[in-house]
Every structure is written in C-alpha cells, then in structure tokens.
Amino acid sequence: MPAEAAPALRRVEAGALAAWARQCLQAVGVPEGDAQTVADALVQTSLWGIDSHGVARLTHYLERIRAGSVEARPRFAIRDTGPCTATMDAAHGLGILACFTAMDHAIGLARVNGVGIVGIGESTHCGAIGLYTRRAAMTGLIGVAVTHANSIVAPQGGTSKFLGTNPLSIAFPQADGAAVCLDMATSSIPWNRVVNARREGQALPDGVALDSSGQTTNDAQAAAALRPLGGPDYGHKGYALALMVDLLCGPLNAMPAADHITPMFGDLTARRHLGSLVMAIDPMRFAGGPTLAASVRELVERAMQQPGEVLYPGLPEERHAAERRALGIPVEPGLWAEFQNWSERLGVSAPPFS
C-alpha cells in the first residue's frame, strides 16, 4: 500500500488567529483587554517568523493558567525607587503583560528624566523580548530589554545544561521605517525551537545541541542541552553574555538564576519566579537626539549597499510579516492538532484555515 500523505500545512489569517487566541485566554479567566494584548503579541511574533515564541506558545500558557502557576488576573505592583528606576512585582501573571506594563512605565520615566529602568520579579515566560524594545522605539525612544530562562544551555567548555537561553534586545527608532531591532538568544538556538522540532518530528541543525552524554546531536528527542552562541570554538561569547543577562534578571531582582530556576516544561503547577529588566532612553537628552532616527536610517541604508546581500536587524522580521499578512500564518500539523484539542476543551471554534 502507498505511504499515507503527511497532513498539509495550514495557513491562518492573522486577525482570525488573534481572535481565536483571545477567546481561548478569556475562556481560562484572562480579562478581555489583557487577552487581546497577549493574543496580538503572540500573533505579531508569528508574523515576524519567530515561530519559537509566537502563537505556538499559547497552549503552554493555557496549561499553566489551568494548573495554577500563572495567574489569569494578577495584581501588578510597580514602585518607583528613584527618578529613573522602578521595581515591579508581576504577581505570577502572564509575562507578556508584565513586560509591556514595565516598558510603558520605563517610557514614562524616560520622558520625564531621560532614562527609565524597571526591574521585574515574580514573572513568567514573556515571549519574544523584541516586543518590548520595539514598543519604546515606536515612541521615538531607544529600548533595551533582557530576560532569563531555566537551565538548558551548557557553559563554554561544559557538557551539561546550566544557564538559560537568556535573550537580549535593543531597538532604535528609524525615520520612515520600522525599528532597527536586535532580538537574540545567547544560545545557539532558542530551546522552543527544539520543542517545535520534537512536536513536528524534525531534525536540529548541526552543532547546536548536546545529548545527555555531552555529545553533539541533531536528534531533537535526544537533545539535553544547547550550545552557547558561537558554538564549539567561540561559545565563550554567548556564555559570557548569558551569565551577564542572568545577573541582571535574577540576583538584581531578587529572583533565582541559572539552574535554580523552575523549568518551563516540567511541573506546570510550580511557579517560575522569573525576572526581566527593561530600559527606555530618550535620545533627545544626547547631542545626536534630534537627528537620531534619520541617522539610523542613513546608516542602515549604507550597510545594505555593501557588497553581498546585507540586511539590518529587524528587516527579516518585517519581510516575514509582509508575506504572512498576505498568505496567512503557517501552522504545522502537530501544532494544529494542539489548537483543535484546546478548542474542544474550551468550547471555542478553531480558527478557519486555508
């Protein structure tokens, strides 16, 4: 008998996918406005092509809310600790909401005093960190953000997991264009990419993961740790960056760090106790402020005129978004099965697809 054809990739229109995600979040107790914010953030991340942190993470958030480790209706508490600084208790709410709230407060501080820095504690997974730096850049400010994660990356020279993927982001406003935005993990790849590969039965790229014996593997099921950014020869750079991010997010905010952080995928009833740090800088407090956005534009245009195929940070995401707005967001078979399962569990109609 001929082999059965693999289920087709489905594409879902962004607005329909966001509406479905919002309804799912509301069904587990998230207020409508908060649910819309999280749904829009996840779908925007998928539009950018960052599928490791996009709408694929929704089902995990739903599981944790149902399990009680994430609060559907948290009471955030922000306390100013100086003219430019504040600390935030995220009360175990959805990390996306916490980081948007913190960045908005940092923007307010920066408008008054030139810079705003907010440290966040008692948070949860906050999705793509570039969401928050772009928020600042959209207002004409410079955005900086870091967050950390549980132990899954081996330090340079090590063979087992210790640090998290610990991403960082910096975004600048650009005249007549989207923000120039760095959004990167300090690991070779995000761990959620491994999760996605396991779900879809896909192989991992060469040199990014180690198995339980410390050997390089392409098998997503066998992956026990990631290599730091830079790989076997230059991983000291990613390792050092990850350590600095952990210090900014964990100890600075009185949160645990490295191998003391509760795993994302494990006991879903256990609180995560994550920290983040967001910063907004008003460029008008500096000599180049009045012309900064134009200077950013001029610099990236010169970069793209260099020999070869040169892009600027953030442009690949904008190109992905344009394509996916036109064609729909791709949903792989395994993820679609999860969507159907949750639709049935929550009594929500699954999103239409093509």
Choose between 192 and 178: higher pLDDT.
Answer: 178
CATH number, position 263? 3.30.1370.60
Do 28 and 135 reside in the same domain of the chain? no
Instruction: Please write the tens of the pLDDT for every residue from 23-76.
Output: 999 999 999 999 999 999 999 999 999 998 999 999 999 999 999 999 999 999
Do 96 and 243 reside in the same domain of the chain? yes
Rounded to whole angstroms, the Cα distance separating 105 from 90 reads: 13
In this structure, the number of other CB atoms found within 10 A of the CB of residue 248 comes to 20
Rounded to whole angstroms, the Cα distance separating 141 from 291 reads: 13
Choose between 233 and 63: higher pLDDT.
Answer: 63
Q: Which two tokens stand for residue 153?
A: 């990356």
User: Structural domain tally of the chain?
Assistant: 2
Q: Which two tokens stand for residue 352?
A: 């239409």
Burial of 8 (0-12, 13-18, 19+ CB in 10 A): exposed
pLDDT of residue 3: 45
Q: What is the mean pLDDT of residues 263-279?
A: 97
Q: What is the mean pLDDT of residues 136-143?
A: 98
Do 81 and 112 reside in the same domain of the chain? yes
Q: What is the mean pLDDT of the chain?
A: 96
Cα Rg of the chain, angstroms: 20
Instruction: Please write the tens of the pLDDT for every residue from 105-136.
Output: 999 999 999 999 999 999 999 999 999 999 99
CATH number, position 49? 1.10.1530.10
Q: Parallel, antiparallel, or unpaired: how do β-strands 274-281 and 225-226 relate?
A: unpaired
C-alpha neighbours within 13 Å on the C-beta side of residue 200: 20
Predicted confidence (pLDDT) at residue 5 exceeds the cutoff of 80: no
Domain that holds residue 58: 10-67+314-354
